[in-house]
Amino acid sequence: MPVNTLELMQPMITEGGNTVQPSSFCNDDHKLAQIEALKNRALGSARILYGSEQRKFFDIIIGSHDDGKHTAMLVCSLDGWSKLLRKEVDVCPVAATRAMVNGLTKDVGTLFTKFDVGDQISGQQGFSGLDGKFALDEHKIAIRDGPRLDDTRTLRGQYAHTPIGPSGRGSKRPRAEHLDRVDRGGRYERSGTDRERGDAGKKVVLDYGEAEPSGMDIDWKTSFRGDNLLGVNN
């Protein structure tokens, strides 16, 4: 009786040399959708509890163990470094993720008893001790600007006052008539201002004396700007 190769391969899926067992939750689209929905709910809570600074990213990573259990880990990444913030373990990956979301939701509820509508907060709002319990930082205070509780224009951006280009006046390259500007590592400086050069607004002229008499009268006078480097009078 011929062997049906497709039937032998049906119980498992091979991707990149790694065998995915039929019992793996990676083969269950329903569980994957549940985990993704729970992650979306959790990440908003993580940002308000641990800060939403630029380049700071949160994610819930699921790990599978040989004993059939799964770990849901809340991870914060910043500039090439990652820190493991919270962990939940369960035989079901959905249950582990749900426990993570439940803990974050409770801690956000505690935060909302401290602050109210119109308050502006920044940075991490609390920490977990060795017992795993999250406690609010009593030194963190809110900022309130005026009676307009939902005015988002008062939000303070960390990089609001960062220069947008060289010398903070834009990123355009200097014009051709400003070739006397020198690049000083990210900003432009003039190699010499009018005040440094002497009398402001006056043309500086070098006089090398008069040439020996010849068949033509040559004016050797010249200026720094390059005008009339060699003037010939007939």
Q: Using the predicted structure, report yes or no on whether residue 56 has a pLDDT greater than 70.
A: yes
Q: For residue 54, what pLDDT is reported? A: 87
Indicate the CATH number for domain 9-117: 3.30.160
pLDDT in tens, 110-138: 999 999 999 999 999 999 999 989 999 99
Q: pLDDT band at residue 25, thresholds of 50, 70 and 90?
A: confident
Among 36-50, 57-71, 95-109, 170-184, the least confident range: 170-184
Q: pLDDT band at residue 183, thresholds of 50, 70 and 90?
A: very low
Residue 114 and residue 110: Cα distance in Å, rounded?
7
Task: For residue 95, give Cα distances in angstroms to 40, 48, 49, 69.
Answer: 15, 23, 22, 11
Among 90-99, 160-169, 191-200, the least confident range: 191-200
- For 108, counting Cβ atoms within 10 Å of its Cβ (0-12 exposed, 13-18 middle, 19+ buried), the class is middle
State pTM to two decimals: 0.58
Domain ranges (residues) in the chain:
9-117, 199-234
